[in-house]
Amino acid sequence: MNLDHVFVCGNPALDFAATLRARRTLRAETLVSPERLDAWYVEAGIVDALSPSGESDVAQAVALREAVYVLVTARRLGESYEAEALATVNGAARKPSATPQLTATGRHTEATAEEALSTVARHAVEVLSGPEVPLLKECGNPECTRVYIDRSRGVRRQWCGMESCGNKLKAAAYRARKKQVQAPAAH
């Protein structure tokens, strides 16, 4: 599987919400097929293997993703939860989740798409009701809409990740400063 999923948010539900990137501008969808959804579950560590998803599973996953994003944004801004988003997350969380099993070689989790999605919903419930709520931040890159848990010392992290956004913004700021210094002074 040659994929580009990024896991920098500090919680699987937040990383799941970030599978629609650049929400304010490009709106780059990463869950474009059942195979991509399945790959996300495996790459995120939600499951080791799962029965293949179908198009309806992708639609349910996108609905949950959007509900998680709405709730995370509301929580981050100190606003009330939207009833429909709350019902979507709670409905998914009520279903059976992926269950790890102990094998001779260690832990192994196989699941259906619905169980994997329920696991993501349960992660959302935990992050939105847990002690790290005050640490929820949106990336400082105006193009990025990832919400992450800022566990940095002093809670001063500005970007979802250095490789994904921090380096780009630092390089742009450096180029802007360099250009300003090289510009001839106007008389």
Most confident of 82-96, 135-149, 172-186: 82-96
User: How many domains are contained in the chain?
Assistant: 1
178 in any annotated domain: yes
Residue 183: pLDDT band by 50, 70, 90 thresholds?
low
163 in any annotated domain: yes
CATH at 176: 1.10.3300.10
187 in any annotated domain: no
User: In Å, what is the CA distance from 65 to each residue of 92, 149, 176, 177, 186?
Assistant: 11, 17, 36, 38, 51
Stated pTM of the model: 0.87
118 in any annotated domain: yes
pLDDT tens-digit readout, 14-27: 999 999 998 989 89
User: In Å, what is the CA distance from 3 to each residue of 17, 44, 158?
Assistant: 17, 12, 26
User: How is residue 35 written in tokens?
Assistant: 């195979």
Residue 180: pLDDT band by 50, 70, 90 thresholds?
confident
Task: Give me the numbers of helices (H) and strands (E) for the chain, helices first please.
Answer: 6, 7
